[in-house]
Amino acid sequence: MSTDNLFNKIAVCTDIHFGNKSNSLTHNKDCEDFVDWFIATAQENNCETAIFLGDWHHHRASINVSTLNYSLRSLEKLGTSFDNFYFITGNHDLYYRDRRDLNSVEFASRFKGITIVNEPFNAGNCAIVPWLVGDDYKKLKKVKAKYIFGHFELPHFYMNAMIQMPETNELHAEDMHKADYVFSGHFHKRQQRKNVVYVGNCFPHNYSDAWDDDRGMMMLEWDGEPEFVAWPDAPSYKTLKLSQLLDDPSSYLTDKTYARVVMDIDISYEEANYVKETFAEQFKMRELSLLPDKEKLDLDILNEDIELNFDSIDSIVIDQLSNIESEHYDPQMLLDIYRSI
């Protein structure tokens, strides 16, 4: 490898979202635990350089004090663990979606070893690109580099397991076809088309990630092929039927499992509570929600004078649609379409 190249071997992660889930302590601890594992794994594999591809914080307008403490500790660890740690600003790190003059991670540049990338730059035959604003995409089409790292919103890739990014008439994967590889954050689902790779976020965050545990980190040796490693202690999200769960619970449940279970067999309210309490205790689960099967829902049950502690399928769908963040999809329009079905 030429000494002019940006790295010999690089470790990559993205979209950790400190402060997610209403500044949940559980989520923030997961984030810090992931950072510890990321550093250890990178060092075991001789990665002298690392890069974060955007969305360090979840909330763009403010940072909770507890979240800030987790964030600061993790940044300091990353800065002291590598020869160089490059930090791309993602859309969640920016106060304004269409401007980069204010971000929530500028203080990280005070840490030794950390380079905040808030403007596109080329170095060592690599291009490192933050969230694009304005006409940035036009300049990127002219960039020449072996590797491009960024936080891109490319059309026709999947934003999650179900929703595909629509056409934007701006940047396309084909515009960067001359690079050996383009590595991006932003979309949490790991996926690849030709030379463009969405690395996938650090670990599953919600039920949009159910059954999709291809998350963690990536390593790349110069001139080599990307190697993906999943965090073995990551939380997981499962959606399944009660009959499946009762048949073999140990195949689905762990101490970091979030599970939504559709009641496809008839059980009483008392039996449902017993299932929840027993499995939650036995497997130390983080969440077990029982959902009524819409096709079998007994109207008499709804009329009983008891407070059912079941999540509504409608509320889950509405929550997912409401949390779509894209200027190309109107969440309210999607909600109106769903409610009209």
pLDDT at residue 71 greater than cutoff 50: yes
In this predicted structure, what is the pLDDT of residue 309? 41
In this predicted structure, what is the pLDDT of residue 285? 94
In this predicted structure, what is the pLDDT of residue 305? 36
Neighbouring C-beta atoms of residue 195, cutoff 10 Å: 17
- Report the alpha-carbon distance of residue 251 to residue 124 in Å, rounded: 47
Neighbouring C-beta atoms of residue 23, cutoff 10 Å: 19
Model confidence at 161, pLDDT cuts 50, 70, 90, reads confident
Return the structure tokens found at 158: 């999947």
In this predicted structure, what is the pLDDT of residue 104? 95
Q: Give percent above pLDDT 70 in the chain.
A: 85
pLDDT at residue 148 greater than cutoff 70: yes
In this predicted structure, what is the pLDDT of residue 311? 45
What value does the CA radius of gyration of the chain take, rounded to a whole number of Å? 22
In this predicted structure, what is the pLDDT of residue 48? 98
- Please compute the mean of the pLDDT values over residues 92-112 and round it to a whole number: 93
Model confidence at 330, pLDDT cuts 50, 70, 90, reads low
Model confidence at 319, pLDDT cuts 50, 70, 90, reads low
Alpha carbons within 13 angstroms on the beta-carbon side of residue 118 total 18
Reference 59, options 99, 27, 104, 28; nearest CA is: 104
- Report the alpha-carbon distance of residue 315 to residue 333 in Å, rounded: 16
- Report the alpha-carbon distance of residue 127 to residue 145 in Å, rounded: 6
pLDDT at residue 314 greater than cutoff 60: no
Q: Residue holding tokens 């995409």?
A: 137
- Report the alpha-carbon distance of residue 300 to residue 303 in Å, rounded: 5
pLDDT at residue 114 greater than cutoff 90: yes
In this predicted structure, what is the pLDDT of residue 3? 67
- Please compute the mean of the pLDDT values over residues 60-86 and round it to a whole number: 97
Q: Residue holding tokens 């955007």?
A: 54
In this predicted structure, what is the pLDDT of residue 269? 87
171-222 per-position pLDDT tens digit: 999 999 999 999 999 999 999 999 999 999 999 999 989 999 889 999 999 9
Reference 161, options 198, 195, 132; nearest CA is: 198
- Please compute the mean of the pLDDT values over residues 24-38 and round it to a whole number: 98
- One-character DSSP codes across 50-99: EEE-S--BS-SS---HHHHHHHHHHHHHHHHHSSEEEEE--GGGBSSTT-
**Do residues 16 and 29 make contact, with C-beta atoms less than 8 angstroms apart?**
no
Reference 250, options 282, 212, 225, 226; nearest CA is: 282
In the chain, count H helices and then E strands.
9, 15
**Do residues 236 and 220 make contact, with C-beta atoms less than 8 angstroms apart?**
no
Strands, E, within the chain: which ranges?
9-13, 49-52, 84-88, 114-117, 121-123, 126-129, 147-150, 181-184, 191-193, 196-198, 216-221, 227-230, 236-241, 257-263, 287-292
In this predicted structure, what is the pLDDT of residue 332? 62
pTM: 0.85
In this predicted structure, what is the pLDDT of residue 160? 82
- Report the alpha-carbon distance of residue 223 to residue 31 in Å, rounded: 30
**Do residues 86 and 126 make contact, with C-beta atoms less than 8 angstroms apart?**
no
Segment among 125-129, 145-149, 319-323 with least mean pLDDT: 319-323
In this predicted structure, what is the pLDDT of residue 163? 85
Question: Please, which residues bridge with residue 227 across strands?
Answer: 219
- One-character DSSP codes across 312-335: -HHHHHHHHHHT---TTS-HHHHH
Return the structure tokens found at 209: 């990630």
Q: Is the dihedral of CA 138, 166, 327, 209 positive or negative?
A: negative
Q: Is the dihedral of CA 192, 196, 199, 201 positive or negative?
A: negative
Segment among 90-99, 134-143, 191-200, 302-311 with least mean pLDDT: 302-311
- Please compute the mean of the pLDDT values over residues 52-71 and round it to a whole number: 96
Mean residue pLDDT across the chain:
88
253-311 per-position pLDDT tens digit: 988 999 999 999 988 889 999 999 999 899 999 999 999 886 554 433 333 333 334 44
In this predicted structure, what is the pLDDT of residue 302? 33
Helix (H, G, I), strand (E, B) or coil at 219: strand
Strands, E, within 124-179: which ranges?
126-129, 147-150
